[in-house]
Structure formats: structure tokens, C-alpha cells
Amino acid sequence: MKKLFLLLALVGMVATACEDDGVNEPTIPEDKTQPIKFIDNRVKALCVDSWDTNGDAELSYEEAAAVTDIGTTFEGYNIISFTELAYFTGLSYIANGAFQLCESLKEIELPHNITSIGGAAFYRCDSLTSVTIPDSVTSIGDLAFRVCSSLTSFYGKFASEDNRCLIVDGKLIAFAPAGLIEYTIPDSVTEIGWYAFDDCTSLTSVTIPNSVTSIGDYAFSGCDSLTSVTIPDSVTSIGYSAFQECSSLKSFYGKFASEDNRCLIVDGKLIAFAPAGLTEYTIPDSVTSIGDHALSWCDSLTSVTIPDSVTEIGDWAFYYCTSLTSVTIPDSVTEIGLYAFSYCSSLTSVYCKPTTPPSLGEGAFKWYDGSWNLVNIGCTIYVPTASVEAYKSAAYWGDYASDIVGYEF
């Protein structure tokens, strides 16, 4: 008899553990024609409007189970709770953008038979606090939980041991940032996915383990409280704009860090910059190209010195450097990218030394005015006197013909 009681107690403990993990199957009554009792009246209204097939102004368990695609029915709506989604057992996936911009959504329960969650499915669900991924899920799309600032935990499939991350095949694809100012990425992570920590505005410190080999595009963009980053030797690649708009960054350490600890330089390309506290900066001589977005949104910089070693200035390289007043482009430069100095609204003088006009991207010295027309910033562009006509007739340079002036360098 004691053994029987012990066995029953163990069964009860296992059942309780399952409930705590949020992985129990939803309870569906035998009579599936009964109406579902929705917590959120707006959710009910949207469901009835879309899937009430018998016209009774209710949604039954049977009608919910017959739905195979919710599409973007709820996108952008001011809904708060949708735990009843669990009864939509005919769903095999959550569509791309299904709940994006549902900024008031606090709780949701996913059906236990879905196999995929689409890209940006819960993008900017700023009130969502916890998500349980069913075991049936085999794929989660890009940016599915991007900028969910109130998330404290993930449970179920792909959840890390600390419940702060979703990790798929070693790739950290989502992060629950709420309440954290410091975080150590788990050793099981080999790749930090794109936008994984995007807009985690409270994080001041992130420890990247030696298991990580790559950091994705925009991985830490908008982390405007982050003060320093150490790149481990294991990292072999860092994506586009990985540290864009990190306005409090003072230093990089470890692999790819410049001698002054202000830049990350990969194979001669400056790919990231730590701008905090600086108004003037001289780019290191080891730099041969300035990468896309490398110094964008550095709105305190008034002066940047570009060395003669640089041959290329990338797309959006100085985008929104709103305090920058003057820039000198050395004669070594052969290419200036798209919107390279766009929105540098204080820029009055550009000294462009090359005698042969560098190839120029569209909008390099433009911005959008109040009517959303792309117009010239209005800076004076000084070029070698003998090359004035060559500049005025070159592709895209011609857009600034009235601003181009000869200068004896």
C-alpha cells in the first residue's frame, strides 16, 4: 500500500511539473459545438467576424478547430489576451507577422500541433511576458520575437536552461530582456542571430562565450546602454551593422578591436565604432575601407579624420552624423556609397581631394525634407580646380553641380 501511495505521489509531482512548464494540452469539452468563452472581447469579435460559420455570433470549439490559417487577422490590434488560440487545433503554423505590433498583448497560448512560427510573428509585442513553444515546432522565422521588451521567459522547445533565449541548432534567435542589465550568453550558443538583442535598451553588459563563431546582422543594434563589448577569439564573422546605434559604447576588446579600443576592424574594414564621449575622431591608419553604417547615428561627432589608407566609404557610413560640420575625403578614396553622408544636417563643407571623381552612390549628400522630398543637404563640395567639370558630369555628382567649387589642395 505504501508503494502505491508513493507511486501516486510521484505521478502527481510529474503532472504538477508539466503544468508549471505550461505544456499541458488544452481542455476541450466533448461537445465541441459549445461556444468558447474568450477573456478578451476584442479577440472574440475578430474571431467571430472571421470564422463564425453558423452565424450565431459565437465561435465554437468546432469552428476554431476548423481554422487552418489565421493570417494577419490580429496584426496591430489592441488585444490583451489570446490563450484561446490553443483551441485552434487545425493550425499547422503561425503566419508571418500574425501578431506583430499587438503592443498590448500580454498572454497567448500556441496550439500544440503547430510546426512553424513565421517571421516577425510577434514583432513588437511589447507587453508579452512569457511564451511557451510547443514540442511540435520545427522552425521559427526570422525576427519572430524581435523587440518584445517585456519578455521575461521562454519555455518549451528551444528554450535555454535559464529560459531567457530561444536556441535553434546552436543559433540564438530570440532573447527575453525584461529586468536584465547584464547577461551571459549560454555556452551552447555558436551563433548570435540577426537582431537577436536588438533594442535591448537596458542591457549594459553582455558576455559572449568562446563557443560563439559568428555575430549576425544588427545583433546588438539599438542597445543604447551597452558600454563595452569583448569579442572572443572564436568569432570569425561579424554581420552588417551589428552594433549600430549603441550610443553608450566606449570600447571594444578582444578580437578585431583597434589599438584605441574604439573600433572593430575586420580585414582592414572598419565595421563598428564606439562613439560615447567623443566629439572628434581620427580613424586608424590600418583601415582601408569604412563599412556600411560603421559610423552612422554617431550624432555627437563634429569632426572625423579619414586617413589616406582608406579607398572605400560604405553605404550609410556616416548616416545621421547630425553634428558633423566638415569632412575631408583623401585622394585615396575611389568609392563613396549610397546615402554615405545622408542626414548629416550640420555638414557645411566637404573637401574631396581625388582628381578623378570617386564613384558616388545615390543620395550621398541628401536628406528628406518636411514633405518627404529627397533634397540636397546644401553643403559646399570642394574638389580639385582642374577636376570641377569632371565632377559635375560624373554619375550622381551632377546632382550637386551647383554646390561643387574648385579648390587648390
Q: Binning pLDDT at 50, 70 and 90, where does residue 29 land?
A: confident
Domain chopping of the chain, boundaries: 37-151, 278-409
Third-level CATH fold of 278-409:
3.80.10
CA distance 328 to 303: 10
**How do 269-273 and 251-254 pair as beta strands?**
unpaired
- Phi and psi for 213 in degrees, rounded to 5? -110, -20
Q: What is the average pLDDT across 3-25? A: 42
- Phi and psi for 28 in degrees, rounded to 5? -120, 125
Name every residue whose Cβ is closer than 8 Å to that of residue 2 and which is 6 or more positions away in sequence.
none
CA distance 96 to 102: 14
CA distances from residue 212 to 183, 193, 232, 261, 313 in whole angstroms, order as listed:
15, 11, 8, 21, 29
Residue corresponding to grid cell 569632371: 390
Q: Binning pLDDT at 50, 70 and 90, where does residue 83 land?
A: very high
* Per-residue model confidence (pLDDT) at position 289: 98
* Per-residue model confidence (pLDDT) at position 11: 36
Q: What is the average pLDDT across 7-27? A: 47
* Per-residue model confidence (pLDDT) at position 79: 98
Does this chain's domain 37-151 share its CATH topology with 278-409? yes
The region, left, alpha or beta by phi > 0 then psi within -120 to 50, assigned to residue 3 is alpha
Third-level CATH fold of 37-151:
3.80.10
**How do 269-273 and 263-266 pair as beta strands?**
antiparallel
Q: Binning pLDDT at 50, 70 and 90, where does residue 257 land?
A: very high
Q: Is the pLDDT at 3 greater than 90, yes or no?
A: no
Q: Binning pLDDT at 50, 70 and 90, where does residue 8 land?
A: very low
Q: What is the average pLDDT across 267-272? A: 97
Q: Is the pLDDT at 30 greater than 90, yes or no?
A: no
Helices (H) and strands (E) in the chain, counts: 4, 30
**For all residues of the chain together, what is the average pLDDT?**
93
Contact 174, 141 (CB under 8 A): no
* Per-residue model confidence (pLDDT) at position 368: 86
Q: Is the pLDDT at 207 greater than 60, yes or no?
A: yes
Q: Is the pLDDT at 2 greater than 70, yes or no?
A: no
Q: Is the pLDDT at 27 greater than 90, yes or no?
A: no
Record the pTM. 0.88
pLDDT in tens, 349-373: 999 999 999 999 999 999 988 788 8
Residue 219 CA, chain-centre distance (Å), reads: 6
* Per-residue model confidence (pLDDT) at position 32: 85
pLDDT in tens, 225-253: 999 999 999 999 999 999 999 999 999 99
pLDDT in tens, 310-340: 999 999 999 999 999 999 999 999 999 999 9
* Per-residue model confidence (pLDDT) at position 5: 37
* Per-residue model confidence (pLDDT) at position 7: 38
Please report, as a single letter, which amino acid is at residue 408.
E
* Per-residue model confidence (pLDDT) at position 22: 47
Q: Is the pLDDT at 34 greater than 90, yes or no?
A: yes
pLDDT in tens, 281-316: 999 999 999 999 999 999 999 999 999 999 999 999
